[in-house]
Structure 1
Amino acid sequence: MSINGITPEMLEGAPTLYQIIPSLQEFIGDMPLLGHNLEFDLKFLCRAGLDITLDKRKFFDSYVLAGSILKKPKWEYDSELGCYSPNYDKPYDISDYKLDTLCRYYAIDRADEHRALGDCIDTARVFRCLLQEKIDTTEDFDA
């Protein structure tokens, strides 16, 4: 509730995950799947009965793609603190790969964050930005 603002009252009368799996299965068919930290969501969906085992299904994860394109600060041992912490003194692109952080980095307004449709739209927008950045850096490398 503290993350997404969804209260128990909002869930009253809503179908369970197990009840919507058949319609979700039909909806996705054999289409590719895009998500942010996709493995996390797929664990819940597969436990509930979603079958994503098509041989040719493509998976795209904006979290993983961000990790291959953008640099986070390196974690180094801080003897004063007695623990590891991010070193913000060395060059980095972004502090973490959370969807909200990536949206801020790419100046994407989050009108409906932490809601299914809003997060899907934001993930697609971030994915498009990451793909463009990947294309741009590849073109620079090839030139």
Structure 2
Amino acid sequence: MEKSRSIRRAGKYIEDFLEEYVVLDLETTGLSPVTHEIIEIGAIAFRGGVQTGEYCTLVRPKTRISGFITNLTGISNDMVRFSPTIEEALPGLHGFLDGRPVLAHNASFDLGFLNAAYERHFGMPFPNDYLDTMRISRKLYPTARHRLQDLTERFGIERDGAHRSMADCIMTQRAYECMREHCRRNGIELKKKPKPNRFGSGLNLKELKRPENEVDKNHPLYGRCICITGALLRETRQELLQKVVNVGGVAVDSVTKKTEILVLGSKEEWTARKSSKVLKAEKMMSEGHPIRIMSEEELYRFL
């Protein structure tokens, strides 16, 4: 695939149930498309609910895969030693997608990495339109949790091979079709259903209360300085940061050298215009500062 400046349009979100799409999932070395890399690409094409093709490859990163990522995904440095680089893998993926809409869970994460890779290697943004099972779930089940694990539990979908690209693709496709059937049975028109409420800032750090009981110093958030950017789905920043303080975390309202975790509210997307906090955090990460960027849903895993 040659570099192209003729295609500048990034894909747009489609809020619908389509008959033809390609399910996509990536495994990566971390959370940021600026400082981390893709290590596995999985894509499965469907038409009318029937699988019509697939593309899957491990990808050899320029940096070593951490033990944490190996434990999470099962992908080791030995496994990717002779795999193609991202430059070598992208043309095959691009050809397989063939302009078709992409379905992913928490699509902003996967498309953020693909946007970065396409811009870096081909001088163009990732052009395909996309669907997102997380966004659909938020609309249909506003009070529930929306991780892929939550959707598989809700619909009774097996989780064999979770955190590998092809297995996650299969789970995502089944969840998508389950939500299609839910709408069909209940006469729900997805586009007409109101968007879930989102909570903005309203933050006053001075009103946060110290925990009444002794906190567990082994808790993963204990002593960590945590900041939030973007609108939240479930509650206000004040309420969420109070939960952080309750487990021993330290709430902050700006990104500084002391900040260790920046949480992206559900409205914040890697593919959209980034907030000043995200831009500053990414710059700090590129300079070697150990700040971690995680989603709202990921933070709830620790709470």
Identify whether the pair has TM-score above 0.5, normalized to the shorter chain.
Answer: yes
- 1:28 paired to 2:100: no
Which runs of 5 or more residues in structure 2 are unaligned?
1-69, 119-123, 189-303
Task: Please state whether the residue corresponding to 2:131 is helix, strand or coil.
Answer: strand
Is contact 2:114–2:126 with CA below 8 Å preserved after alignment?
A: no
User: So what's the TM-score if we normalise by structure 1?
Assistant: 0.72
Tell me the residue number matched to 1:71.
142
- 1:113 paired to 2:162: yes
Q: Partners in 2 of 1:43 and 1:18 — Cα distance?
A: 16
User: So what's the TM-score if we normalise by structure 2?
Assistant: 0.36
Greater C-alpha Rg: 2
Tell me the residue number matched to 2:108.
39
Report the AA paired with residue 45 of structure 1. L
Which runs of 5 or more residues in structure 1 are unaligned?
73-93
Q: Partners in 2 of 1:2 and 1:101 — Cα distance?
A: 21
Answer 1 or 2: which has greater helix percent: 1
Q: How does 1:42-121 map to 2 (within 5 A)?
A: 42-49=111-118, 51-53=125-127, 57-72=128-143, 94=144, 96-121=145-170
Report the AA paired with residue 126 of structure 2. I
The CA deviation string for residues 25-68 of structure 1, in whole angstroms up to 9 with x for no partner, is 11001211111111110111121117532xxx542110100000
Q: Partners in 2 of 1:48 and 1:18 — Cα distance?
A: 8
Report the AA paired with residue 89 of structure 2. I
Q: Partners in 1 of 2:85 and 2:156 — Cα distance?
A: 35
Q: Partners in 2 of 1:39 and 1:113 — Cα distance?
A: 19
Which structure has the higher relative contact order (CA within 8 Å, separation 6+)?
1
Q: Partners in 1 of 2:149 and 2:79 — Cα distance?
A: 23
Q: Aligned-residue CA RMSD in angstroms?
A: 1.9
Is contact 1:34–1:60 with CA below 8 Å preserved after alignment?
A: yes
Q: Partners in 2 of 1:51 and 1:27 — Cα distance?
A: 17
Q: Report the CA distance between 1:71 and its aligned residue.
A: 2.7
Number of residue pairs matched? 115
Is contact 1:63–1:98 with CA below 8 Å preserved after alignment?
A: yes
